Amino acid sequence: MSDRRQLRQVEKVVRRVMRTVANYDSIGKAEFEAILHKIMQQVQRNTNVDADEIAAVTPKVIEAMPNEYGQLSKEERTMEAMIAYLYCKYLKELGLLE
């Protein structure tokens, strides 16, 4: 997949997941889990990878989050950036993105 196509795909996922985020006044554990679930659905939809395989890499994705996404400055840690990070991290852990 070309870089341009990947970027468009990530942007589309961010837009779709942001619709879910827009329903929340604040983000707590339950809301984060709902957002994560929506991202996992998008990974499955876009890659046709089995849901069990996606769920199997979730602990790695979550574990890496503080060391990767958490290193961004406060200004850079937006909801859009988090969604893009999580989506790309899933793809990377599944071996679909270098």
What are the extents of the domains in the chain?
3-93
Q: What is the pTM of this model?
A: 0.94
Please tell me the distance from the alpha carbon of residue 12 to that of residue 8, in angstroms, as a whole number: 6
Please tell me the distance from the alpha carbon of residue 27 to that of residue 20, in angstroms, as a whole number: 11
The predicted pLDDT at position 1 comes to 60
Backbone phi, psi, residue 91, to 5°? -60, -40
Q: Give, for all 98 residues of the chain, the pLDDT tens digit.
A: 678 999 999 999 999 999 999 999 999 999 999 999 999 999 999 999 999 999 999 999 999 999 999 999 999 999 999 999 999 999 999 999 87
The predicted pLDDT at position 2 comes to 77
